[in-house]
Structure 1
Amino acid sequence: MDLNKLTTEKRNERSMNLDTLSTEQVIRLMNEEDAVVPKAIEQIVPTIAKAVDAIIARFKKNGRLIYIGAGTSGRLGVLDAVECVPTFGVPPEKVVGVIAGGDRAMYRAVEGAEDSPTLGQQDLTALSLTKEDVVVGIAASGRTPYVIGALTYANEVGAETIALSCNQDAEISAFANIAIEVIVGAEVLTGSTRLKAGTAQKLVLNMLSTASMIGIGKVYNNLMVDVQPTNEKLRVRAVRIIQQATECTEEQAQEAFEQSGEQVKIAIVMILFDQTKEQAEETLVQNQGFIRKTT
């Protein structure tokens, strides 16, 4: 294994005296290096857009979005998947995060898990992967055997495959139909890819999930119309979203929210078209869940 060729493993010339800097100097340097990340992502926006379109196409075939990775990369995938449930109202099996070593690896490193390509295949097999699904293999280094094994198996099944890495000509890119490579340069702390590389991966995952959800009708204007009101804060937000989408009063929004069974999107259609809950449900079915297509 030759790590010398990986940008993510190189030493950052700007931080060679990191241990001699004051606290404020360390923070300033980290902040300056972090500013590189969005600029790097800007260079590959068309590739990210292509990946989003591929995910939307599979969603429309009732496929799933599956993130898979090891260590920090795996944790970031799990985080994004988990957040899709309350934000967009999708069932937990629609967007899935898989990490090498299983759930316990979220909290403690599982030795050797990332080195097994067979384990990557096994974890996708356990999910009953199909050709309608999308598999996003995440690895900052771009060479993780676990991810390569997962992508190899996904290709064999016929699933859409996307690779997300932070090195140019990454090894995992060769195993994916779409390769997203965010080149953020050497880390302030050599090899600590939870820093710039992790930030880059988080930003790209935000884009993949959010833009894909917009593409299947989970957003109206810039509002989370399928948000799940699972606590008091979210119930208040839900009523506010109904108000903002329809320009009605708080009282009207609250009434529609309750009549809809606390389903924000249905409440919005009820108000916009003066419909009952049942009529609003049918309207949305006819328009594939898009409020915009009903207006």
Structure 2
Amino acid sequence: MSERPELDLLPTRAVVELLLDGEQRVVPAVRAQAAAIAGGADLIAARMRAGGRLLFTGAGTSGRIAAAEAAELPGTFGLDRALVAARVAGGAVGTDEHEDDLAGAQADLTALAITAGDVLVAVAASGTTPYTLCIAGAGRSTGAQVIAVVNVPASPLADLADVAVEAVVGDEVLRGSTRLSAGSAQKIALNALTTAAMVRLGRVHGDLMLDVVGANAKLRARSAGIVAEIAGCSPEAAARALASCGSARAAVVHLVLGLPPSVATARAAQHITLRDALRSNS
């Protein structure tokens, strides 16, 4: 912005409109990083296919956004919760002062126990946060691959990463408040990064969350609806198949190929994608 707004002198509606105007640059900034995001997604898929974990770290707003991403993945895509973890500076009650907490970073490194097979996604708007740099540097030294998600070009965090997503949004409407456009860009970039990785891991069929965990009535109904749509059967038949087979992909194999539940479950487990499991010559 060439001329800074006097927010406190504006009517509330004008403040809101300026804030919303600022968000319009977010998607273009993230879209400019599509190649890097795709590269990161392929990296995550390759490491997780080999048994590695997907780890997230950050401090302040960036850390909380990273932690939210980690929390959502197991239920959405049916991942073993042991394969996804996050550490945020200061933990759940972290404050700005924890961004410089290198002792806390060392303690979190011990808890994470990063290995060479893991992928670490490190998020920091400035790319200079001491806590995040410490975690990322240590992860890199173990042989883990690092994906940086930042909002500035040529930062120290991006320099040490295997893949750098640099979603540069420029000055915030509220100067320096990276919870605004920078935070929005981080959330969109992480959503795209992890969802694309899950597609490559066979956790998505068409546009459906094939392995969504039926943790409540709404999600159980959604899972049955997914099975019914793919198998071309009634929701009731889909629900019965789910109960017999224990997973949506096994239920589809059971319904489409007419295999007993135990055989369908074994067959589904042998293939990365449902499409491969359904091929008649498998």
Following the alignment from structure 2 to structure 1, what is the Cα–Cα distance between the partners of residues 92 and 80? 19
TM-score normalised according to structure 2 size: 0.94
The structure 1 residue matched to 2:49, chosen from 60, 66, 80, is: 60
CA contact (8 A) 1:155 1:161 kept: yes
> Is structure 2 residue 172 aligned with structure 1 residue 187?
yes
Structure 1 SS opposite 2:79? coil
Alignment of 1:42-53 (within 5 A): 42-53=31-42
2:20 is the alignment partner of 1:31: yes
CA shift, 1:192, in A, is 0.6
CA contact 2:40–2:147 (8 Å) conserved in 1: yes
Cα distance in structure 1, aligned partners of 2:53 and 2:200 = 14
Query: Does 1 or 2 have the higher relative contact order (CA < 8 Å, sep 6+)?
Result: 1
Alignment deviations for residues 92-117 of structure 1 (CA, whole Å, 9 cap, x no partner): 22121210112332xxx2x5321134
Q: Does 1:280 align with 2:269?
A: no
Q: Is the 8 A contact 1:139 1:164 kept in 2?
A: yes
Aligned-pair Cα RMSD in Å: 1.5
Aligned equivalents of 2:159, 2:106: Cα separation in 1: 17
Residue type of the alignment partner of 2:275 = R
* Counterpart residue identity of residue 163, structure 1: A
Q: Matches of 1:118 and 1:43 in 2, distance apart? A: 36
User: What is aligned with 2:241?
Assistant: 256
2:115 corresponds to 1:126: no
Q: What's 1:222 paired with?
A: 207
How far did 1:89 drift? 1.1
Pairwise CA distance, 1:118? 4.8
1:27-69 Cα distance to aligned partner (Å, 9 max, x none): 2222221010000111110011111111111101100111100
1:63, 1:20 → 2: CA distance?
53
What's the offset of the Cα at 1:280? 1.3
Count matched residues: 278
Partner of 2:231: 246
Find the counterpart in structure 2 of residue 16 from structure 1.
Answer: 5
Structure 2 residue aligned with 1:3: none
CA–CA distance in structure 1, aligned partners of residues 109 and 83 of structure 2: 14
Tell me how far apart the structure 1 counterparts of residues 116 and 41 of structure 2 sit (CA, whole Å): 17
Of the three residues 245, 250, 275, the one matched with 1:266 is 250
For the residue of structure 1 that corresponds to 2:233, the secondary structure is coil
Contact 1:55 1:134 in 2 (8 A): yes
Matched-pair identity in %? 37
Q: 2-side partners of 1:212 and 1:124: how far apart?
A: 24
Give the Å deviation of 1:292.
1.5
* Consecutive aligned runs of 4 or more in structure 1 exceeding 6 Å deviation: none
The whole-number CA distance in structure 1 between the counterparts of 2:4 and 2:220 is: 47
How many Å separate the matches in 2 of 1:100 and 1:190? 23
Give TM-score scaled by structure 1 length.
Answer: 0.90
Contact 1:142 1:167 in 2 (8 A): yes
Would you say the 8 A contact 1:117–1:148 is kept in 2? no
Kept in 2: contact 1:51–1:208 (CA 8 A): yes
Q: Which runs of 5+ in 1 are unaligned?
A: 1-11
Per-residue deviation, residues 228-253 of structure 1 (Å, max 9, x unmatched): 11111111111111111112122211
Contact 1:33 1:196 in 2 (8 A): yes
**C-alpha separation in 1, matches of 2:50 and 2:58:** 24
State the SS of the aligned residue for 1:68: strand
Unaligned runs of 5+ in 2: none
Question: What is aligned with 2:90?
Answer: 101
The answer (yes or no) to whether the contact 2:57–2:132 under 8 Å persists in 1 is yes
